[in-house]
Amino acid sequence: MKKTIFSILFSLILAPQFAQTFYSPDSSLRAEISTGDYPGFVLYQYQQKLIENTSIGLKLQTGEILGKNPQILKKTYASYAGVVYPPYGQEKQIDDIYNSLILVLSDSLSVEFRLYNNGLAYRLKYTGQGAAVVENELATFRLHASSTVWNPQVESFANTFEPRYVETPLSQMPTNGLSLLPFLAEADSMPLLMISEAAQSNYPGMYLKAAHDTLRAVFPPYVTKENYKWAYRLRITDFAPFSGKIATQTAPYIAKLPAPANLPWRVILVAQNEMDLLSNRLIYLLGDAPKMDFSWVKPGLVAWDWYNHWELSGTSFKPGKNTATYKYFVDFAAKNGIPYINLDEGWNHNKKVFKLNKNIDVHEILRYAKSKNVGVFLWFMWDGLEENLGAKLDTFSAWGVAGLKVDFFDRDDQKMVAFAETLAQEAAKRKLMLNLHGIWKPTGMERTYPNIVNREGIIGLENNKFGNDATARHNVSLAFTRFVVGSADYTPGALFHVKQANYSKNWTHPTAMTTRAHQLAMYVVYYGALQMMPEAPTTYEKEPEMLALISKMPTVWDQSIPLDGQVGDFVVMARSKNNNWYVAGMTDKAHKINLNLSFLPTGEYEAELFSDGSKTIENPAFYEKNVFDAKNTDKPEIVMEESGGFLLVLRKK
């Protein structure tokens, strides 16, 4: 990491009032920091007010409110300029440039502000002499009253973190609901604003509650008792019924803090347009730097079993949850250069992880996969791992498992957040990768623990088995909402399609209500270092063109360039890997573009375009393939039909 730091320290003598303006490195943003009853700020872009927070503080269980009527002991200004080189990601390097202001208060609290060219972040640090019990953290965010928001609302703190992003006038937001993060707001003639959090460690997740034009932070309470209850009415299998370990009793506080303790960053991303939003990496940058070697982490594609319901066709054995089926998956992966397969729900008992399904010889599958140079991910419910975690991870490491797919967290109270971090730490020590499902949004933890190669917290393709939320508009909106803060395991690339009007959920043979080209585009528009191939191997084998294309898709990138888009309507993204470029678009309504290829380096490229054609209007599985030569002065016209898209692969000659 390259860096430059410049600091100025000032000592103040218990100043009862404070007001200070400081600027982003390019001076486009300015924050007016003040202390009245509480520390707070107003954020401007030039002369335009964007957002304000007038109450920053901690209320302790003792009744004391740290930050109330603050007196400042010291303030520190600093400028920082560095470059972060991720071990893998959406680009090879990310500029990390900001100005900061740290206020040390007289009541065991300090506040650090960082102002970037594309956002503001602040966090509290508890500096008391002993541990503290936090009843609540104070934070309010006042938006422009005319804002429209993309509201990811849930009913309670116990949820799957899979909201629909519903476009809503701020003035009409329900006041009795909870909004997850990230939370996107837009208003006429103003930049887009996104509220989220980063560097969440041993602290509950932040939610938002609406009151007119103000959003108030709320947090799940500290869990004092947990128990197993039937969380799902559907018994997916007689071997392993699903039940969740849920909170049955909570305390009247949200967290217990050691001394000292950094709280998570509260982050406001600022984007002039949708393209700036798609290229914002502040959540990743604000995550703590890794403290271990992660060079062993190998992202890639996964042949996935659960979505396609183990439905192979034309085999000499009866397909299903059995050893022969998984050996077929291994052979398929080895033949097509796919680095991993996944053993999902049903290979063991959910709670008794070493009680194995008698029809699945896990050890033989692992042995066979190793002989074919294919890695294996095993699926678990989180609470099956909780007791004796280290010993269980030792066993899976000794078995030769490549990674764990851990599911159904369904909470982000302090205990659960602490467990997830412990899981990441302990898995990293044993060189085990993690794919986390049923879990909250990214908060930069993937920077700290790059063995977290993907995570869910999203309505993805699996919804086609049991719901009707994975519409084209939903899919497009995800690029500008959930994916802005980090990777997501949407599991893209369905090969069975119907028109939305003809769609119905199907547990064993799910279909997508978008076109083939729309689904292909997801491999580029969406980012996930570990990316699933959801259809059965025999389905791909019947479509060799699709198999050849998808099995060679990169999952990590050298460079990413958003090209065009509008929240919920359409999106176009370009990414490069090893001098080749992949450009993709997704749309809700029919949309025509003249694709400007000026981002390409000079030279000749062989172009393969997979796009909608007029026949997709009646047959969404239809696609057209065109091959042609291209260069950076070209502007090919591309038509995306309703619920459609395109994928353009440009290989350097």
Catalytic residues: 407, 462
Contact between 224 and 257 (Cβ < 8 Å): no
Instruction: Look at the block and give the residue holding tokens 């320290």.
Output: 9
Residue 372: CA count within 13 A, CB half-sphere: 25
The CA distance from 94 to 372, in Å, is 36
Single-letter amino acid, residue 462? E
**Angle at 285 (CA atoms; ends 167, 203), nearest 5 degrees:** 75
Radius of gyration of the chain (CA): 25
Backbone angles phi, psi at 424, to 5 degrees: -65, -45
Beta partners for residue 583, in sequence order: 574, 648
Instruction: Give which of 577, 574, 579, 556 is closest to 638, Cα–Cα.
Output: 574
Backbone angles phi, psi at 277, to 5 degrees: -65, -45
Contact between 58 and 139 (Cβ < 8 Å): no
Contact between 217 and 178 (Cβ < 8 Å): no
Is it true that the peptide bond before 182 is cis, omega within 30 degrees of 0?
yes
Structure tokens at 482: 């959930």
606 vs 56, 218, 393, 501, CA distance in Å?
55, 53, 46, 37
The DSSP 8-state label assigned to residue 108 in this structure reads: S
The CA distance from 560 to 583, in Å, is 10
Single-letter amino acid, residue 590? A
382 vs 35, 307, 352, CA distance in Å?
43, 20, 12
Greatest pairwise CA separation for the chain in angstroms: 83
The CA distance from 33 to 22, in Å, is 8
Enumerate residues 6+ apart whose C-beta is below 8 A from 366.
376, 399, 400, 401
Residue 646: strand, helix, or coil: strand
Single-letter amino acid, residue 23? Y
